[in-house]
Amino acid sequence: MAGDLAERRFLAVYRTGDHLTGALAVGMPPGAIRPWRAAVAARTPWHEALRAAAPGTSAGTISPVP
């Protein structure tokens, strides 16, 4: 998850096994989700999707949510 839940502005990405399977953006500009939607459609492996994360959203800024 990237963003701030308290501000109701965040991007969440989901995986099943080793593949990116979904992305959800709330209160973010449309451009924030576009690369993630393309990666989901391409069945991009999880680690590859994180390496190619949208500008301003890197693997280091995505926090796992239990």
pLDDT tens readout for residues 2-15: 777 778 888 888 99
The answer to whether position 29 is within a domain reads yes
17-64 tens-digit pLDDT? 999 999 999 998 888 889 899 999 999 999 898 887 755 555 545 555
Q: Which two structure tokens, joined as six digits, stand for 21?
A: 């399977």
Using a 10 angstrom Cβ sphere, with 0-12 exposed, 13-18 middle and 19 or more buried, the burial of residue 3 is buried
Number of domains in the chain: 1
The answer to whether position 66 is within a domain reads no
What is the number of residues in the chain?
66
Sheet holding 19-26, edge to edge: 2-4, 9-16, 19-26
The answer to whether position 7 is within a domain reads yes
Per-residue pLDDT, 6: 77
User: Which stretches does DSSP call E strand in the chain?
Assistant: 2-4, 9-16, 19-26
State the residue range of the domain holding 36. 2-57
The answer to whether position 53 is within a domain reads yes
The answer to whether position 15 is within a domain reads yes
